[in-house]
Amino acid sequence: MNSRRLGDLLVEAVGLGCMNLSHAYGRPPEEARAEALLHEAVELGMTWFDTAALYGFGANERLVGRVLRPHRDRVVLCSKGGMTGQPIGPGGTLQRVIDGRPESLQRDCEESLRRLGTDVIDLYYLHRWDKRLPIEDSVGALARLVEQGKVRMIGLSEVSGVTLRRAHAVHPIAALQSEYSLWSRDSERGALAACADLGVAFVAFSPLGRGFLAGRVQDPESLDAGDLRRSMPRFQPEAWASNRLILQRLKEVASELGCSLAQLALAWLLNRGHHVLAIPGTTQPPHLRDNWSARCVTLDPDVQVRLEGLMAGIAGERYAAATFAEIDSDRG
C-alpha cells in the first residue's frame, strides 16, 4: 500500500478525480458507463474520490453519491464549494459563479450534502478564492462547517503559498489542491514548499496534463466543441506543433522503462514529496487501471532529471489570461 496523509486520514497516493464523468471535456459518458467506472475504482481498491458542486452543476455529486453510498464507510468523499452554477438572467441559464461569502459557502455545503446523500463530507475545499473578500473570511466560514459537523476537514484550491499560510493561521488546512504535473509546475514556486512546512497534503489535479502526458490527445482539433482544452493556449495549433514533438521524446523514455506514458508522469509526480498525492481522472476503465498501477512504478533520480529537461521547452501557458486572473497562483 502506497499510503499518504490526507489531513488526519491515511489514503492511497492515487485517488480518482471525478470531474470528467460529468463536466469539462466535451460530452460526458452515458450514466451507466460512468457508474461502472466508479464501481471498478472501488473494486480496484481506490479509497478516495474527488468531486465538486460545479461539475455538471451538481450532476457529478449526485452520481458519486449514488454509486458510493453503499461503500460510504470505506471511502473518503471530497467535494468543493464557492464556485457553482447559478441561474443568471431572465432565462435562468446556469453559469459558473465564484462566490466565497460565508452564507454562500453554508448553502453550497448543505446542497452538496443532499446531492451526495451523506451526513458529512470528509474533505471540503474552497474551490476558488473569491478575491472580493479576504481569504480569512471564507476560511472562517469553512471552519464553522467543521464545528457544525457537516465537514471533517477543509482545503483550498488554486491558491499560492502565501495565501495558504494566511488561511492556515485561521484554521488548519488539510489539503491544497492545484494543477501540478510535468508540464504545469507553478506550485514549485511557493505552494509545494508551504504545504511541506505546514503539514498540508498537496493534491495534484490534472496530473496527466489534461491527457497530454498520457498521450491521450492525438489532435486538439478532434476534441468536442465543448471541450475546455480548446481554449487552453497549450492546445492551440502553434503550441501543439511544438509540444507534440516533446511527447514523442517522452514516449521513448516510457518505452525504455517498460511503463506507460501515464505511469511515467504519475511516478514523477509522486516522487516530488511524500505529501504529494494525485487525482487523475478518466472515463475509460483501461486508463483507470493504468493510472492506478502507477503507484508501483519507481524512477531513478537521473530519469526524473531527464524528464524535467525534456519538458523545459513546453510551449504555451496552462490557462488563458482570463482564467489566471481568477486564481491566486504562484506563477511569476
Going along the chain, which residue ranges are E strands?
A: 3-6, 9-12, 16-17, 48-50, 76-81, 83-88, 93-98, 121-126, 151-157, 175-179, 201-205, 276-278
In order of 143, 230, 235, 246, the CA distances from 238 in angstroms are 46, 13, 8, 14
| Nearest by Cα to 211 from 196, 193, 223, 197 | 223
In order of 165, 206, 326, the CA distances from 130 in angstroms are 17, 22, 8
DSSP 224-260: -TTBGGGGSGGGSHHHHHHHHHHHHHHHHHHHHHTS-
Angle at 235 between CA 231 and CA 237, to 5 degrees: 105
C-alpha to C-alpha distance for 216 and 256, rounded to whole angstroms: 19
C-alpha to C-alpha distance for 67 and 84, rounded to whole angstroms: 22
Name the residue type at position 273: G
| Residue positions annotated with a catalytic role | 55
| 251, three cell numbers | 514516449
Name the residue type at position 234: R
